[in-house]
Amino acid sequence: MAASRRLPLAARLRGRWYATAKEPGPTSQFYKTFTRPIAKVLVVAVFSYQLIYWGWVKLEADEHRQKTDAEIADLEAKVGTLDKALKDDVEAKEAETPKKKKGGWW
């Protein structure tokens, strides 16, 4: 083979890269341009959703707590009324029965 046909590897790699540069495709150009803005919008959207969801859950928990507290207060009032009625009934029965005289064996 002739020496002119065989180029060393370094000589072949030093080709004219500047002349063969390709323009980026429209898809890659779109992603280079809009990746960061789209990511920012998605992050803000997720954050907003989580914030609104947390607020909603907080309101639901407050409403449930109010209902539970009201039910507990109602039940405590009923227990107090029934306890008072039971004590009054016991006192009335004690008043009706004559007291026995305590007597010793002597």
pLDDT, tens digit, 9 for 90 and up, residues 17-76: 566 678 889 999 999 999 999 999 999 999 999 999 999 999 999 999 999 999 999 999
Q: Which residue has the higher pLDDT, 6 or 3?
A: 6
Tokens 């002739």 sit on residue: 2
C-alpha span between 8 and 3 (Å, rounded): 10
Per-residue confidence (pLDDT) for residue 19, from 0 to 100? 62
List, in order, residues 6 or more apart from 24 with CB less than 8 Å away. Answer: 32
Per-residue confidence (pLDDT) for residue 55, from 0 to 100? 99
Per-residue confidence (pLDDT) for residue 79, from 0 to 100? 98
In this prediction the pTM is 0.54
Quick check: helix, strand or coil at residue 30?
A: helix
Quick check: helix, strand or coil at residue 1?
A: coil
C-alpha span between 97 and 88 (Å, rounded): 15
Q: Is the CB of residue 53 less than 8 Å from the CB of residue 60? A: no
Per-residue confidence (pLDDT) for residue 98, from 0 to 100? 72
